């Protein structure tokens, strides 16, 4: 210490200037490194709160759930005595009366996830898009973050629909010169491609729906799970032998008469992005194989969806409330709500063009 005080006075000034600069730079580097770490930790913290890496929900809650008051669930009183509400592999079958929207919304709020909705408005099917989006704004995942992915060959014709906060429309241009069967089949390929390219980064769940429909009642977070399918409204009461599975063994979509849980509708399926990517990729590949063998499954992508969901059982199944055709099927008492219904149209007019 004593030796240090005997530095010559002349050198003191330039040394001190360099030293001050040097120290400041050092301090800055150190602090930014530490700050980087603090920032990193808080990002971890927010990941733990559920923002997280897309494709994987982190359920570790940094936000504590709040007190809720609601009717007590009664163990000795089934919520529905007329329908199956649980599959043999313990996936819930979602019917009105089985769930409490408030409790589910509260759970979901804590995860802070985003839902992507894919819809194909190609060629004349564009005419359905406006009503679809308008009714979605009223009934679909209200209060949660939503991105509508509109696949279309006519981006300029996409109608402007006023959107609630936290919701947006992304228009994805795709080729259009295809028949409706080809459009239907190509959906799998396109969803698979875009899942990899962007959906994985942008949303947590994907919901894939037909466009020629409208929402008329609540469709909320009760549907969300890693992988879900919807019971086709035309077959929920039928024996499996009557399901319109692909029955030719040469097809990749083939299902024998003694197999099959349900007949799922091609117009409403979804799950986590990772699972939807897996499903759409598998279906697309199966369709390519069929095509190479000069085959096309009887109900196109729906046939392949059914094969896939037989082998990879869904973690939730939506009741036909979630995909209905009032014109063809009326309103039977077992349907307490009709949530997502076909828009009446000249079937051949649209599909023939």
Please spell the DSSP secondary structure of 268-294, one letter per residue. Answer: EEEEEHHHHHHHHHHHHHHHHHHHHTT
* Residue 225 or 303 with smaller CB distance to another protein: 225
Q: Is 302 annotated as a binding residue?
A: yes
Q: Is 212 annotated as a binding residue?
A: yes
Query: What's the full length of the chain, in residues?
Result: 353
| Edge-first strand listing for the sheet containing 316-318 | 93-94, 316-318, 227-230, 268-272, 205-209, 114-121, 145-152, 167-173
Rounded to a whole number of angstroms, the minimum distance from the CB of residue 231 to another protein is 7
Q: Is 244 annotated as a binding residue?
A: yes
Catalytic residue status for 241: no
CA distance 278 to 73: 36
Rounded to a whole number of angstroms, the minimum distance from the CB of residue 146 to another protein is 17
Rounded to a whole number of angstroms, the minimum distance from the CB of residue 347 to another protein is 26
CA distances to 10, 233, 258, 264, 310 from 241, rounded to whole Å, are 101, 16, 7, 14, 15
Please name the residue that has the structure tokens 């939807």.
276
Q: Is 20 annotated as a binding residue?
A: no
* Residue 26 or 327 with smaller CB distance to another protein: 26
Q: Is 232 annotated as a binding residue?
A: yes
* Residue 162 or 249 with smaller CB distance to another protein: 249
The pairing of beta strand 205-209 with beta strand 268-272: antiparallel
Asked whether 272 and 204 are in contact (CB, 8 A), the reply is: yes
CA distances to 47, 197, 201 from 51, rounded to whole Å, are 5, 20, 12
* Residue 77 or 349 with smaller CB distance to another protein: 77
**Which of 222, 275, 302, 321 is flagged as catalytic?**
302
Rounded to a whole number of angstroms, the minimum distance from the CB of residue 127 to another protein is 33
The annotation places the binding site for UDP-N-acetyl-alpha-D-galactosamine at 120-122, 125, 210-212
The annotation places the binding site for Mn(2+) at 210, 212
Q: Enumerate the active-site residues.
A: 302
The annotation places the binding site at 120-122, 125, 210-212, 232, 244, 302, 325
């Amino acid at each position: 210490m004593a030796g240090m005080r005997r530095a010559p006075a002349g050198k003191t000034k330039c040394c001190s200037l360099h030293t001050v600069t040097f120290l400041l730079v050092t301090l800055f580097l150190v602090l930014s490194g530490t700050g980087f770490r603090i920032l990193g930790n808080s990002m971890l913290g927010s990941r733990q709160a559920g923002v997280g890496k897309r494709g994987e929900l982190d359920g570790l809650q940094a936000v504590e759930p709040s007190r809720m008051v609601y009717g007590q669930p009664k163990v000795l009183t089934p919520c529905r005595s007329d329908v199956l509400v649980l599959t043999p592999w313990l996936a819930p079958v979602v019917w009105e009366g089985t769930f409490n929207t408030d409790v589910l919304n509260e759970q979901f709020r804590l995860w802070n996830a985003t839902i992507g909705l894919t819809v194909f408005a190609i060629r004349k099917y564009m005419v359905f898009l406006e009503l679809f989006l308008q009714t979605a704004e009223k009934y679909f995942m209200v209060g949660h973050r939503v991105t509508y992915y509109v696949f279309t060959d006519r981006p300029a014709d996409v109608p402007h629909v006023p959107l609630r906060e936290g919701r947006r429309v992304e228009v994805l241009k795709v080729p259009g010169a295809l028949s409706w069967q080809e459009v239907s089949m190509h959906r799998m390929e396109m969803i698979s491609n875009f899942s990899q390219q962007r959906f994985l980064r942008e949303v947590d769940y994907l919901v894939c729906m037909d466009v020629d429909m409208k929402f008329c009642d609540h469709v909320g977070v009760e549907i969300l799970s890693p992988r879900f399918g919807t019971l086709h409204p035309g077959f929920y009461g039928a024996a499996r032998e009557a399901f319109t599975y692909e029955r030719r063994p040469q097809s990749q979509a083939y299902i024998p008469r003694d197999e099959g849980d349900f007949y799922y509708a091609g117009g409403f399926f979804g799950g986590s992005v990772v699972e939807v990517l897996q499903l759409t990729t598998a279906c697309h590949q199966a369709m390519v194989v069929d095509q190479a063998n000069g085959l096309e499954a009887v109900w196109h992508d729906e046939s392949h969806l059914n094969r896939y969901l037989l082998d990879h059982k869904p973690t939730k199944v939506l009741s036909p409330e979630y995909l209905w055709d009032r014109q063809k099927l009326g309103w039977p008492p077992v349907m307490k709500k009709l949530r997502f219904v076909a828009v009446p149209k000249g079937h051949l007019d649209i599909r023939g063009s």
